[in-house]
Amino acid sequence: MNSMVTIDRHILEEERSVPGATGAFSDLLYNIALAGKIIHREVNRAGLVNLLGKTGDINVQGETVAKLDDYANDVLVNTLSQGGRVCVIGSEECENVIHPATVGPDAKYVVHFDPLDGSSNIDANVSIGTIFSISERVTPLNTTPTEADVLQPGTRMIGAGYIVYGSSTIMVYTTKKGTVNGFTLDPSVGEFLRSHQNIRTPERGKILSCNVGHAQYWEPAVERFIRSVQTEDKQKGTPYTLRYIGSLVADVHRNLLYGGIFLYPPNIRGSLHRGKLRLLYEANPLAMVVENAGGLASTGEGRVLDLQPTALHQRTPLYIGSKQDVLEIERLIRDQSPEERG
Which span sits near ligand AHM by CB under 6 A: 198-206, 218-226, 244-252, 334-342? 244-252
Q: Please name the amino acid found at residue 68.
A: L
φ/ψ of residue 148, rounded to 5: -60, -30
Which residues partner with 123 through β-bridges? Answer: none
Smallest distance from Mg ion to CB 204, Å:
27
Interface characters, 265-284, with ligand AHM (x: CB under 6 A): -----------x--------
Maximum CA pair distance of the chain? 62
Which span sits near ligand AHM by CB under 6 A: 73-81, 112-120, 143-151, 221-229? 112-120
Is residue 246 close enough to count as binding ligand AHM by CB under 6 A?
A: yes
Is residue 118 close enough to count as binding ligand AHM by CB under 6 A?
A: yes
Residue 247 binds which of ligand AHM, Mg ion, none (CB < 5-8 A, kind-dependent): ligand AHM
Q: Which residues ranging from 99 to 128 are in contact with Mg ion (CB under 5 A)?
A: 114, 117
Residue 142 binds which of ligand AHM, Mg ion, none (CB < 5-8 A, kind-dependent): none
Is residue 247 close enough to count as binding ligand AHM by CB under 6 A?
A: yes
Residue closer to ligand AHM, measured from CB, 30 or 217: 217
- CA distances, 291 to each of 84, 151, 176, 203 (Å): 30, 21, 11, 11
Smallest distance from ligand AHM to CB 297, Å:
14
Is residue 114 close enough to count as binding ligand AHM by CB under 6 A?
A: yes
Contact predicate 206/324, CB 8 Å? no
Smallest distance from Mg ion to CB 114, Å:
4
Pairing mode, if any, of strands 241-242 and 277-278? unpaired
- CA distances, 80 to each of 119, 151, 219, 220, 313 (Å): 22, 19, 41, 44, 20
Chain Cα centroid distance, residue 79: 18
Residue closer to ligand AHM, measured from CB, 114 or 330: 114
Of all helices (H) and strands (E), which one includes residue 186? strand 180-186
Which span sits near ligand AHM by CB under 6 A: 78-86, 116-124, 219-227, 307-315? 116-124
Residue closer to Mg ion, measured from CB, 224 or 315: 315
Residues with Cβ within 8 Å of 18's Cβ and at least 6 positions away in sequence, in order, are 177
With H, G, I as helix, E, B as strand and everything else as coil, classify residue 216: helix
Interface characters, 186-215, with ligand AHM (x: CB under 6 A): -------------------------x----
Is residue 93 close enough to count as binding ligand AHM by CB under 6 A?
A: no
CA distance 282 to 278: 5
Torsion of CA 224, 230, 232, 234, to 10 degrees: 50
How much helix, strand and coil, in percent to the nearest 5, is found in the chain?
35, 25, 40
Contact predicate 315/275, CB 8 Å? yes
CB atoms closer than 10 angstroms to residue 52: 13
Residue closer to ligand AHM, measured from CB, 110 or 277: 277
Residue closer to ligand AHM, measured from CB, 126 or 158: 126
Q: Which residues ranging from 129 to 148 are in contact with ligand AHM (CB under 6 A)?
A: none
Question: By CB under 6 A, how many residues form the interface with ligand AHM?
Answer: 11
Interface contacts to ligand AHM, rule CB under 6 A:
92, 114, 117-120, 211, 246-248, 276
